[in-house]
């Protein structure tokens, strides 16, 4: 574990870091559909098969790509090159890292998204993330999808917060995730977390982080009415326009949260040290009392000086 406290930033992807759903930029045009028709087809497949929403869109992508283009891990990653990003996103990570470093913390960035991991891996910002937790396919020997490997929906997103909290980042490691770990032994306390998302699918993560001492930010593009409701309901801490530019409100908010987290870490460590000192003194006092009681017992029983 780093000697510096870790400050973790978790992001949804679609409409949080990117203005539209990632399929919109290259995949949907490649299969000759409109955005509305594609998502309507996903909804129909979901309802007709009583299917998880994420598995439904993964199935539709796989089926619609047949005969249109080669559908492999590499071609999916190539789609990520076309994904657009909000203003300031490309320089955001270094600015946050530098600020955290100057305040005595180490920033880590994570994606927790219901979008497709392979496409996110192909974007020009993918190298900034410690982990990308998102839906993904299992591939055969030809690199073609043969089964879903991971489906990340709005409720399953929360497991990744605990993985980050406990430092159990490998999605195949479940024993370590479920084993008890004392709060002060966890690599990333919730108070050192901020979750940034755009809507209802992020609410379980936003609420979990906020309830446990971290901060949650709801971002919006043009209309903030829906996210204002989340703020009024106590589900998020801040509502801010999705502009990651230097000196913008989002940067100011995250920098202030880092300042607060570092101050809390310092005062928490002072409390722990005071507790350890008090416990040591209490143990020393107890030992002296026991020794005194033993000496009195020896005197009362005429054993003093006898060996």
Per-residue pLDDT reduced to its tens digit, 129-176:
999 999 999 999 989 999 999 999 988 999 999 999 999 999 999 888
Give rounded-to-5 percent helix, strand, coil for the chain. 50, 15, 35
Q: Does residue 62 contact residue 3 with C-beta atoms inside 8 Å?
A: no
Task: Report, as an integer, the average pLDDT of 225-252.
Answer: 95
Average pLDDT, the chain: 92
Higher pLDDT, 31 or 302: 31
Reported as a pLDDT band with limits 50, 70 and 90, residue 2 is very low
Reported as a pLDDT band with limits 50, 70 and 90, residue 305 is low
Question: Is pLDDT of 92 > 90?
Answer: yes
pLDDT tens sequence across 62-81? 999 998 999 999 999 999 99
Question: What's the rounded Cα separation, in Å, for the pair 78 and 70?
Answer: 11
> What pLDDT does 281 receive?
83
**H/E element, 137:** strand 131-139
> What pLDDT does 158 receive?
95
Beta 6-11 vs 215-220: how paired, if at all? unpaired
Domains of the chain, by residue range, sit at 6-19+84-266
Tell the residue number behind the tokens 């040591």, with chain if given: 280
Question: What's the rounded Cα separation, in Å, for the pair 223 and 227?
Answer: 9
- CATH 3.40.50.1000 assigned to domain 6-19+84-266? The reply is yes
> What pLDDT does 63 receive?
95
Looking at the chain, list the stretches that DSSP marks H as alpha helix, in order from N- to C-terminal side.
Answer: 27-30, 35-48, 53-65, 73-79, 89-102, 117-121, 158-166, 175-178, 203-211, 225-232, 249-300
Reported as a pLDDT band with limits 50, 70 and 90, residue 302 is low
Reported as a pLDDT band with limits 50, 70 and 90, residue 295 is confident
Question: Is pLDDT of 1 > 50?
Answer: no
Question: Is pLDDT of 23 > 90?
Answer: yes
> What pLDDT does 303 receive?
58
What is the value of pTM for the model shown?
A: 0.87
Which residue pairs, CB below 8 angstroms and at least 24 apart, start in 149-152? 150/117, 151/52, 151/54, 151/55, 151/58, 152/54, 152/112, 152/113, 152/114
> What pLDDT does 289 receive?
80
**Percent of the chain scoring above 70 in pLDDT:** 97
Question: What's the rounded Cα separation, in Å, for the pair 81 and 172?
Answer: 28
Q: How many helices (H) and strands (E) does the chain have?
A: 11, 7
What radius of gyration do the chain's Cα atoms show?
26
> What pLDDT does 265 receive?
74
């Amino acid at each position: 574990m780093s000697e510096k406290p870790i400050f973790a930033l978790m992001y949804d992807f679609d409409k949080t870091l990117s203005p539209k759903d990632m399929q919109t930029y290259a995949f949907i045009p490649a299969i000759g559909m409109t955005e509305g028709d594609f998502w309507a087809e996903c909804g129909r497949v979901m309802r007709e098969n009583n299917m998880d929403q994420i598995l439904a869109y993964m199935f539709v992508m796989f089926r619609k790509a047949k005969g249109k283009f080669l559908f492999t891990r590499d071609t999916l990653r190539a789609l990520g090159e076309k994904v657009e990003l909000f203003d300031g996103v490309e320089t955001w990570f270094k600015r946050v890292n530098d600020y955290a470093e100057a305040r005595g913390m180490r920033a880590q960035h994570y994606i927790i998204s219901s979008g497709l991991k392979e496409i996110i891996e192909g974007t020009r910002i993918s190298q900034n993330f410690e982990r990308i937790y998102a839906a993904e396919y299992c591939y055969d020997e030809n690199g073609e999808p043969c089964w879903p490997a991971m489906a990340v929906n709005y409720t399953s997103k929360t497991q990744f917060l605990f993985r980050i909290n406990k430092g159990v980042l490998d999605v195949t490691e479940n024993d370590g995730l479920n084993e008890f770990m004392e709060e002060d032994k966890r690599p990333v306390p919730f108070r050192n977390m901020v979750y940034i998302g755009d809507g209802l699918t992020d609410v379980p993560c936003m609420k979990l982080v906020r309830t446990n001492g971290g901060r949650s930010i709801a971002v919006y593009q043009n209309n903030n009415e829906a996210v204002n409701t989340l703020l009024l309901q106590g589900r998020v801490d801040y509502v801010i326009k999705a502009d990651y530019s230097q000196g913008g409100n989002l940067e100011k908010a995250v920098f202030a949260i880092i300042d607060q987290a570092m101050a809390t870490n310092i005062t928490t460590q002072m409390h722990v040290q005071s507790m350890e000192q008090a416990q040591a003194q209490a143990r020393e006092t107890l030992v002296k009392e026991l020794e005194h009681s033993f000496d009195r017992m020896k005197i009362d029983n005429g054993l003093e000086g006898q060996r």
